[in-house]
Amino acid sequence: MKLSLLPTVALAIFTCGPLARAQHKILIGPDDGKAKTVAIDEVFEPAKLWAYTDVTLEAAWKDKGFKWLSTQVKDHGMIRRDNWGFDQLKLTAFGGTKNLEEISFLLKGGKLTEVSIAIWNKGDSQNAEVTEKDFNAIVEGWSTALNGCVAPKFEDRGKDKTSAAKAERRMWVGKEMLAQLEYSGGKEKVRDPNTGHERAGKNFQGEFIRLRLLPKQSSLGDLSTSAGAAPAVRTAGFDQIPQTRGQRRRVHFHRADGGPRRQGVLRGGDGRTRVQLLRRAGRPARNGPNLRQ
């Protein structure tokens, strides 16, 4: 009896082995992890882009990984590279020549008012650590592409001193669109274990590269890199005023509430005079003015 069962048991063992392996291949086959490519080139067609409403935006992008952050409010939609944890998307722009991490659509009153594109982020991107050469190559590559589709030249707006990141800014003014490329990077910060103070290290560390798109009728103040900051005192060309210590320039400050303008001397350096002018104009200032164009 025992001898007659051996062939049957052996047959069962050899039969189940290949079947189990076959099922394993079906579940995690090599094609399952392939990223779907989503092109966002359409956002560089301003006539079509700024005509979007919450209804038409969702209909046009729902098959490309588009999700509302709130389905009740529908004022902020996104497409992310990780597609909300379900699978991987490959987000591209300019005919597949440029990659990005995510794209956000911001709406007010049911109309699209801004598009924000996260091109590269420290810690979030697939290539989370890049050299200074590679970081600059991304900035220059996007700049060249924007030269061709928004405006032939950009305006170098320098660092945004109102933001903690002190991001560098390049702005393109097109016929129907404003585009601002913002990027931050520099020497890595090293904390002293004894004092707790930070100092600049030897290695380069990139922080982020992002692009913001707005309709042409938007004000330049809307393109400050300080998220959520309210407009304070506005002076035309303020970013071009020399800020070195000891230099003085007589400028006109306008009240944010529309009141009469005030004239004063702007001193560079520690910024104390600018704080006094802000307070005199009816605007609070703690550690310094929140100024932007």
At 108 the pLDDT is: 96
At 124 the pLDDT is: 77
Q: Is 266 helix (H, G, I), strand (E, B) or coil?
A: strand
Task: Please give the structure tokens belonging to residue 243.
Answer: 């800020």
Based on the fold, state whether residues 54 and 77 are members of the same structural domain. yes
At 199 the pLDDT is: 66
Based on the fold, state whether residues 47 and 173 are members of the same structural domain. yes
As a whole number of angstroms, the distance between CA 98 and CA 144 comes to 11
Phi, psi of 144 (to 5 degrees): -60, -40
Q: How far apart are the first and last CA of the chain?
A: 94
Residue 17 lies in a domain: no
Residue 29 lies in a domain: no
Based on the fold, state whether residues 106 and 139 are members of the same structural domain. yes
Q: What does the angle CA 273 – CA 278 – CA 282 come to, to the nearest 5 degrees?
A: 145
Model confidence, pTM:
0.63
Based on the fold, state whether residues 109 and 206 are members of the same structural domain. yes
Give residue-wise pLDDT tens across range 152-181.
999 999 998 888 778 999 999 999 999 999
- Distant-in-sequence, close-in-space partners of 270: CB < 8 Å, separation ≥ 6: 245
Q: Work out how many domains the chain is built from and give that number.
A: 2
Based on the fold, state whether residues 293 and 215 are members of the same structural domain. no
Residue in 182, 74, 73, 172 with CA at minimum distance from that of residue 61: 74
Q: Which domain holds residue 234?
A: 230-293
Residue 46 lies in a domain: yes
Most confident of 17-21, 49-53, 127-131, 236-240: 49-53
Based on the fold, state whether residues 188 and 70 are members of the same structural domain. yes
Based on the fold, state whether residues 178 and 277 are members of the same structural domain. no
Residue 249 lies in a domain: yes
Checking if the pLDDT of 19 tops 50, the result is: no
Residue 118 lies in a domain: yes
Mean pLDDT for the stretch of residues 278-284: 49
As a whole number of angstroms, the distance between CA 150 and CA 102 comes to 20
User: Per 3-state DSSP, what percentage of the chain is helix, strand, and coil (rounded to 5)?
Assistant: 30, 30, 40
Q: Of the candidates 186, 206, 223, which is a domain's last residue?
A: 223
CB 92 within 8 A of CB 100: yes
Based on the fold, state whether residues 235 and 203 are members of the same structural domain. no
Report the chain's mean pLDDT, rounded to a whole number: 73
Based on the fold, state whether residues 78 and 108 are members of the same structural domain. yes
Sheet order of strands, 98-100 included: 36-39, 89-93, 98-100
At 82 the pLDDT is: 86
One-letter amino acid identity for 280? R
Instruction: Tell me the CB-side half-sphere exposure of residue 115, using CA atoms within 13 A.
Output: 24
Based on the fold, state whether residues 65 and 171 are members of the same structural domain. yes
Distances (CA, A) of 285 to 122, 192, 245, 263: 32, 31, 20, 18
Most confident of 71-75, 183-187, 257-261: 71-75
Distances (CA, A) of 163 to 65, 150, 184, 268: 31, 26, 11, 18
Helices (H), the chain: 2-27, 46-49, 54-61, 132-149, 272-280
At 201 the pLDDT is: 67
Q: Of the candidates 176, 191, 223, which is a domain's last residue?
A: 223
Q: Of the candidates 223, 242, 262, which is a domain's last residue?
A: 223
Residue 56 lies in a domain: yes
> Which pLDDT band holds residue 187 (cuts at 50, 70, 90)?
confident
For the chain, the residue count is: 293
Residue 72 lies in a domain: yes
Based on the fold, state whether residues 152 and 192 are members of the same structural domain. yes
Residue 215 lies in a domain: yes
